[in-house]
Amino acid sequence: MLDSASEEEFSEENTEEISQLSYLQLSSLALSGDTAYSEKTSTGFLEKTGYPDSVYIMAANIFQGIRFEKSPEKVLIKYGNEPLPSSTESEDESFQRLSYELAFSALKFQDILETILIDSYIFPSTIIPDHLNSLIIVMLYDFQDRKFQARLLSDNEESIAEVLEVENLLNSFKTKLAAALARCRIKHDALSIYHILPETVRNQELRASTLPLYAWINTCKISPEEVYLSLKKKGYNKVKSVLHIDNKVFAVDQHCYDVLIFPSHLKSDLLNIDLFKDYKLVFQDKSRSLAVHSVKALLNMDDDILMVNTGSWYTVAHMSVLTNNNTSKIFVCGVQSHAKDPDLKNLFTKMGCKNIEILHETFINLESKDHRLQKVKVILLLPRCSGLGVSNPVEFILNEHEDTGLLKDFFQGGPSEDKLHVLAQQQYEQLTHAMKFTRAQAVVYCTYSVYPEENEAVVKKALEFQDHGTKVQSYRLSPPVLPLCSLKEIHLSTDKFFRMEPSEITNGCFLSVLTRERDPSETVSVKDVLARAAAKGLLDGIELGKPSKREKKKKKSKMSLPKSSTSDSSRVQMTTAEFLSQETNASAHQSGTLTTKTSLPQKNTNQVGSSSQVRKSNKPTTNPLVPTFMKNTPPSRPYERTTTTNFVRPRPEDRMIALKPIEIVLPPVMLPFSSPQGIRSQIPTQHFYCHWVGPKTVMPGYLPTPSIPRRGKKPKENLPSSLPRHPRPWL
């Protein structure tokens, strides 16, 4: 056995290796600027200085509740059941985070720390009350993590008697403890106690230390463009991916347009930026942003939202920010303590959230007939789960207010079958209760779990056993409303579930969207939509419900017609036959006009007209060119069906037909001459290209008047009737 001098020398050679695990576990806390735990040396490295007394007390109480219990024959150290008295500082968020980290680290090395205490003869050489053994374990872990150096105490810190008693005990056994730790490392053939941990735990630790940071933009206080500009001024450059980049960069998430991604090593620098201090940027796991964006995609302007088991209040705030431009209201249930209301309202006020209402009833006790929830259309359900999809269990427990027993499940690689069954049953009961809200149209179900028992199995079971006897439509599984950005995501979402597996860039996530089937009998007409708009005051000055004169005429004409005894099919046949007959007569009339080469009847001339002067005088034309022009112009069907001979300006309520301008280019026309054929051949032929161009603007109630621009000399209107007319002037 090594003597005390050699033990101390051996321990000092390997202190750097011994502290690797604790550095990985608590480096993020030190980077956050907590001077109570670490200080920077002249070389720039962090030197651990210890925790305040209240952190040790709180960590001991947490460890007492999550420690591994052994069989009586294997018990080395007995732990009491009485918790240590804690101070009011334990309610501070920063103190809670430090306490959970310290307790979880002690839990992972419980066997090693107990062995060191036995091997160093602290037990059973000293008599210590059992309720202090949890405090000894957590303080021993921190003692070896500080390389067995003394703790630096601040002047204004109040000391706790139990902490001073244990600290003096450990300092008196300093050399023996270091030697026992070295022997334990040699026994397991490990470079440090970190390598004694199972490989799965070590991989999880490594992934947690390199996982990118996600932060959503509070658009109630700042726009995304302003955030990009502010970050650029701070030296941050926008890139497509932040993986394996050590510079100051950020990227925009592909699924959520208002979520930014930062490398993990930039957290300490980001926390000192005003964007985060003023709640313009908020750190939160990406899975919660996916959940609120899924809800946003299902909302109308005035739909309310019910949030269940929200966990982090930042999730509620993000939902409020996304619906800031709507008239939606967000109901949050499950806040049992009224004492938290002022703090929550203060937080939401700082973040610019105004449409949040807190309900103190539990979700199971809420009824669908509650008058406050009559406009709730979407329910966001974030049930308690095993959380094995996240990399940092402490962040998960603190942010989502989960049970501290999950720390033990994380270290063991998952919950027991009995605990998993209990969680799945609770999730099923909450989901089926959400489906009982008859006015709700959708339910978004989201978990951190990677177990099908908590995800697909719960959703499928709830859909299978839902109550089909109610008057409302049943729920069905809908495809994800989020964009699928890779082939892997498409493959994972083939069964209409959205999944994200734990990876180096994100935690695991499961998301399902349930929507009610559309009732085919509920067809909303235009009148119903206008009536709803009028009821909301969106159609000020517009009267509804009064039929127009046109509708009255149609109704009157329908009433005057004799009732037909034929069926619908016979009426369709008669209409078709009448239409074909009209088309046949029209084509025969057109062909007869072209072959007889006679002028059009006076009636058709008056219908179309060749100029505005003819229309005003309402007299038959005497120009022989007009009939020739009309003979070569294909008749227009709307004009053929006109039965009146005079142009009557229709009233505004009559039917208006929008006419499109067209251009028809006719063959050249030669002007007839009375001179002999020989003289005519010597005179150059004058060609007239007739264009029929529709008017640029059509006044309601007027027919377009074709204009005939002529090139060359304008012919006289009254030509001798004895002039010969060439049967085919274009030849």
pLDDT in the model for residue 375 = 93
pLDDT in the model for residue 472 = 80
Residue 356 pLDDT level (bands cut at 50, 70, 90): very high
3-state helix/strand/coil string of 209-266 = HHCCEEEEECCCCCCHHHHHHHHHHCCCEECCCCCCCCCCEEEECCCCCCEEEECHHH
Choose from 20-24, 500-504, 652-656, 687-691 the range with maximum mean pLDDT.
500-504
Whether the per-residue pLDDT at 364 is higher than 50: the answer is yes
Cα atoms in the Cβ-side hemisphere of radius 13 Å centred on 694: 14
Higher pLDDT, 546 or 467: 467
The strand pair at 259-262 and 46-48 is best described as unpaired
Digit-coded pLDDT (tens) for 167-219: 999 999 999 999 999 999 999 898 888 888 888 888 888 888 899 999 999 99
Q: What percent of the chain has pLDDT over 70?
A: 63
Residue 684 pLDDT level (bands cut at 50, 70, 90): very low
Digit-coded pLDDT (tens) for 368-408: 889 999 999 999 999 999 888 888 888 888 887 777 888 88
| Distance, CA of 427 to CA of 429 (rounded, Å) | 5
- How many angstroms separate the Cα of 549 from the Cα of each of 29, 176, 588, 699, 702? 77, 105, 38, 21, 20
What is the three-class DSSP state of 658?
Answer: coil
Residue 69 bridge partners (DSSP): none
Residue 665 bridge partners (DSSP): 691
| Distance, CA of 171 to CA of 678 (rounded, Å) | 138
- Which residue in 23, 6, 18 sits closest to 190, CA to CA? 18
User: What does residue 663 show for φ and ψ, rounded to 5 degrees?
Assistant: -135, 125
pLDDT in the model for residue 644 = 42
State yes or no: cis peptide before 124, omega within 30 of 0.
Answer: yes
Pair 442, 481: CB distance under 8 Å: no
Q: Which two tokens stand for residue 377?
A: 């259309």
Q: Which two tokens stand for residue 289?
A: 């942003």
Choose from 5-9, 77-81, 469-473 the range with maximum mean pLDDT.
77-81
Helices 199-210 and 20-31 cross at an angle (nearest 10°) of 30
- Domain boundaries defined on the chain: 48-197, 286-520
| Distance, CA of 434 to CA of 446 (rounded, Å) | 13
> What letter does residue 147 receive in the DSSP assignment?
T
Whether the per-residue pLDDT at 620 is higher than 80: the answer is no
pLDDT in the model for residue 338 = 80
Whether the per-residue pLDDT at 563 is higher than 60: the answer is no
Whether the per-residue pLDDT at 321 is higher than 50: the answer is yes
pLDDT in the model for residue 530 = 73
| Distance, CA of 299 to CA of 287 (rounded, Å) | 19
Whether the per-residue pLDDT at 248 is higher than 90: the answer is yes
Q: Which two tokens stand for residue 195?
A: 């390598």
What is the fold of 286-520?
Rossmann fold (3.40.50)
378 Cβ contact list (under 8 Å, min separation 6):
295, 298, 299, 303, 305, 306, 440, 441, 442, 443, 444
Compute the average pLDDT of residues 49-53: 90
pTM beyond 0.85: no
| Distance, CA of 90 to CA of 232 (rounded, Å) | 38
Pair 409, 480: CB distance under 8 Å: no
Digit-coded pLDDT (tens) for 688-721: 444 555 554 444 444 444 444 544 444 444 444 4
pLDDT in the model for residue 202 = 87
Residue 469 pLDDT level (bands cut at 50, 70, 90): low
Q: Which residue, chain included where needed, has tokens 């007869």?
A: 592
Compute the average pLDDT of residues 289-296: 96
Whether the per-residue pLDDT at 365 is higher than 70: the answer is yes
pLDDT in the model for residue 251 = 96
Residue 605's CB: how many other CB atoms inside 10 A?
Answer: 19
Higher pLDDT, 319 or 597: 319
Average pLDDT for the chain:
76
- Listing DSSP states for 346-393 in one string gives HHHHHHT--SEEEE-S-GGG--TT-GGGTTEEEEEE------TT-S-H
- Which residue in 612, 610, 641 sits closest to 628, CA to CA? 610
Residue 417's CB: how many other CB atoms inside 10 A?
Answer: 9
- Listing DSSP states for 73-133 in one string gives GG--S---SPPPP--GGGGSHHHHHHHHHHHHHHHHTHHHHHHHHHHTTHHHHS---GGGH
pLDDT in the model for residue 280 = 97
Residue 651 pLDDT level (bands cut at 50, 70, 90): low
Residue 288 pLDDT level (bands cut at 50, 70, 90): very high
Pair 293, 380: CB distance under 8 Å: no
Q: Which residue, chain included where needed, has tokens 């509920």?
A: 522
| Distance, CA of 700 to CA of 650 (rounded, Å) | 8
Digit-coded pLDDT (tens) for 108-156: 999 999 999 999 999 888 888 899 999 999 999 999 999 899 898 877 7
pLDDT in the model for residue 674 = 44
Lowest mean pLDDT among 5-19, 279-293, 411-425, 628-642: 5-19
Pair 315, 248: CB distance under 8 Å: no
Compute the average pLDDT of residues 572-585: 58
